[in-house]
A and B are shown apart, each in its own frame.
Chain A
Amino acid sequence: MKDLIKQGLRLGSIFGVVIIFLILFGLTSTLSDILGEFVNLESRTRTGNPGGLIILFAILSLWAGSMATASDRSNWKPALVSGVSVSLIIALLISGFILLVGFLDSLDVAMRDYLAQLDHLSIQFLLYGRDLTTGVLLTFGIFFLFGILGALLTYWYEAKQAGEVIQKQVLVLKEKALDSKLAKQYKENPRSKWIGYGLLGLVVFITPQFLGKYWNYAMGTVGIYVLMGLGLNIVVGLAGLLDLGYVAFFAIGAYTAGLLTAPAPLPLQIGFWPVLIFSIVMAAFAGILLGIPVLRMRGDYLAIVTLGFGEIIRVLIRSDMLAPYVGGPQGIRDIAGPSLFGIAFSGKAYLYLIIFAILLIILFTNYLQNSKVGRAWMAMREDETVAQAMGINTLYYKLMAFATGAAFAGLGGALFAARNQYTGPADHTLMVSINVLSLLIVGGMGSIPGVIVGAFVLKGLPEILRELDLYRLLVFGGLLVFMMIMRPEGIWPAPRRRMELHEGELDVLPPEESLVGKEG
């Protein structure tokens, strides 16, 4: 009994603190807007939707209540005890916080100067547009009642074993579907794989026709990130070299394309296609140049050196010293776009160009991955010393990984610069490297479909959820930590990597022991 209450109080305070942080981040009003729209509540104030807020709070407290019953769901008494303790502490924390904030606001304390989200309107919104007492009591009531309800519902769900019934039915349905004639035919036909690819290709080919201008642009960005992700996938995912300065090669590609095709600052104005090839070559060359000195480094040191390299490139391109040659902080304008037989690529056509480039790169990567080179990379990733002992020239293959990865980034950079007809230092911040790395991790390292999924999740989803734009990076950071803890292999992992990361769960050595062994 005492343990239950203790546990409940602990969980409740965690939930309470997290919700207070959500309020401080201003995420509550954004989320309640989305929820309010979702259930079609029209009574919107200037800062948000009070109905949505009530729903949000109710969902959070239901969740907390159901989490509280995790230890004992067999009987209604412990469920009630933990439900009450959890919801009481949450309700006290949140309503206390809102009381404090509302009270300070009524005294005209300008909290907004220090906490950006707590302006007068937002506080009114937290009180559902009512006076202080009603608002606080309402909040208390919602958290308290829905918390208990959540606990009891979970108990009821367990008692009825409703979950198992549903699970069983889903399993039966799944088996039926797999046993059906169509599925069998599909599985047994050797050409079905190609039919699948064909269908996928058709979808990819047709979609740009139905997208508007804005979505074409957004999908183009996703595509360029897919290109860069495929490049970094070779460096990090296959060869196991953590590169945090990947944006350097993107910048080199973009700037090469920009400088050679734009009228200023260098009056060269060469056509797009030869310059595209040249950008790729330049980026690959830079990759080798960076690769040579760092060949002997491993792991974290490599990460920091590459990060330093990326920062050096960024500082250099925006410095006044090099401004006469690379444009300085203003960047380069009027970069030439590609054209073929006199027709300029723009809008849809450009998206097709990007898709075409992605297809080429995917075929190339696929070829590399299954060739001798790819196997050498993976061997190096697993254990460099052993790879060397097996006769793999690690220095050569490392350089090759750097060069290939850099070349893909250079291609992405050139396409990016030519599409925007502009490039500047602001396009080449550290965040680009981090974004590419994140999409690789979220998608699944070393897996080509993983890269595509990752790019859509990290670059495409924020376009759909525009309300969350302010919180994109916040969610990013949280997502990275969350993924590392819950699913380090990513959404669509390469089968080999999946096995590695879950090795400790099935295998002889528990992870703690293998770590100590490594330290020697």
Chain B
Amino acid sequence: MSETKPKKTTGRVNSFKIIQAIISVLFLAFLSWRLYNVISSGVYGPDTWVRFAISGLIIGSVYAVIAIGYTLVYGILFMINFAHGELMMIGAFSGYFVFEALKSIPVAATGMSFLDSYQIISVVLAFIVGMFMAALSGYFLEKIAYRPLRGAPRLIPLISAIGASIFLQNAAQVTFGPQRRTYTNPDALLRSQGWRIPIGGEEVILTYTGVLTFVLSILLLIGLYTLVMRTRYGRSMRAVAENKQTAALMGINVDRIISNTFIISGALGGAAGVMWGIHNGIIYHFVGFIPGIKAFTAAVLGGIGNIPGAMVGGLLLGIVESLGPAALGIDFQLKDVIAFSILVLILIFRPSGIVGEVLTEEKV
């Protein structure tokens, strides 16, 4: 009996895998057929493709920064911080208020506002304030909504997180008003300005804000990776993620590590919010929700709990999302459908993500 049983299970797994493989081959064939049709029809010139790819990379780098926040929290508490997108929203609003305040301060020496006279300082200030406010909110979020629930069944902190998300969105709506606001960037960072690159007879604009967003995201990601992987503090974080009780026995203050994780992930969310504001220009109380879900998709795509995975997942999701509708020849309104379909497909066929992380059954 002990011999037949494992045989049977492997047989079942194999048949499932064969069906999976057939479906994926058919799906890929369909995709390449669509892609071939679109490219051969020549609807989009090479400059358009480059434009899509650039915007995908930039938005993908923002997704990556937000995704790291999800991954950090998930790695330590095994919970989806549903309100993480709202931390991004708080960061975006803080940056907006900094810019507005600086714009209203006149500088006698230059005859212009502070914002335009000291542009680098202004941008740095916006990022610092945005990150600080989001980190502060993250700290209190954990303290109020999650800490009392530690050790409860897993559904309960998730629902609490959903509640916190709704609360923060609506708090922002009633406090700041429901209207959409436009970021006032300093002169050097106007959203229409950038380097012009000639491609195929057309000009593609590589905006300064886009480059700033991309470079800053990569720097943040590298900094975080170094923090987690190379420092003593990062080691204690990883120890807590591995096993809280053993980590506590090794003299690590588990509560403080968890608090700090929320602070770090909040700061990253805040930075992403300011980048979003500077690059996209429009913010409102609901701005964090969809990017939040997409960043979660990115985190899952790269293997949740895995920091390089989140970076790869974010960039990949951004590119697929902006190239996808064009490549498949469908409506651009449907790019969210593409993102969510990827999420569903990844979770079905490869729940450990593309970079991969060994997941125990409990985590899945």
Contact = CB atoms under 8 A, between A and B. Distances in A.
Interface residues of A, number: 65
B121 interface: no
B79, B148, B300, B364: which has the most chain A beta carbons within 10 Å? B364
A515 B174 contact: no
A501 interface: yes
A496 B273 CA distance: 44
A300 B337 CA distance: 20
Interface string B322-364: 0000000011011011001101100110010000000011101
Nearest to A109: B104
Contacts, number: 176
Contacts of A27: 174
Interface stretch (A93-101, A179-187, A307-315): A307-315
A484 B333 contact: no
Interface string A467-481: 000110110111111
A484 B78 CA distance: 17
Contact of A300 (B154, B160, B244, B341): B154
A115 B176 contact: yes
B212 interface: no
Interface residues of B, number: 59
Nearest to B242: A519
Instruction: Decide if the interface of chain B is mainly helix, strand, loop or mixed.
Output: helix
A520 B358 CA distance: 14
A477 B166 contact: yes
Contact of A511 (B151, B171, B244, B340): B151
Interface in A459-518: 470-471, 473-474, 476-485, 488, 500-501, 504, 510-512, 514-516, 518
A320 B331 CA distance: 8
Nearest to A23: B175
B364 A301 contact: yes
A300 B245 CA distance: 23
A500 B152 CA distance: 10
B97 A474 contact: no
A294 B245 CA distance: 33
B351 A301 contact: yes
B10 interface: no
A316 B145 CA distance: 34
B118 to A, nearest CB: 22
A306 to B, nearest CB: 9
Contacts of B160: 480-481, 484-485
A53 B10 CA distance: 71
A235 B174 CA distance: 34
A117 interface: yes
A115 B93 CA distance: 11
Given A304-B347, A516-B243, A434 B166 contact: yes
A65 B164 CA distance: 28
Interface string B151-173: 11111111110111111111100
B156 to A, nearest CB: 5
A26 B172 CA distance: 12
B174 A488 contact: no
A146 B97 CA distance: 36
B337 to A, nearest CB: 5
B174 A484 contact: no
A294 B151 contact: no
A477 B168 contact: yes
B188 interface: no
Given A300-B158, A304-B296, A488-B152, A481 B163 contact: yes
Interface in B45-99: 78-80, 97
Interface in B212-248: 243-245
B144 interface: yes
Given A301-B364, A501-B152, 19 more contacts: A294-B344, A297-B364, A299-B155, A300-B154, A303-B80, A304-B343, A305-B343, A305-B348, A309-B340, A319-B331, A320-B331, A321-B330, A474-B166, A477-B165, A480-B159, A480-B163, A484-B149, A485-B149, A520-B360
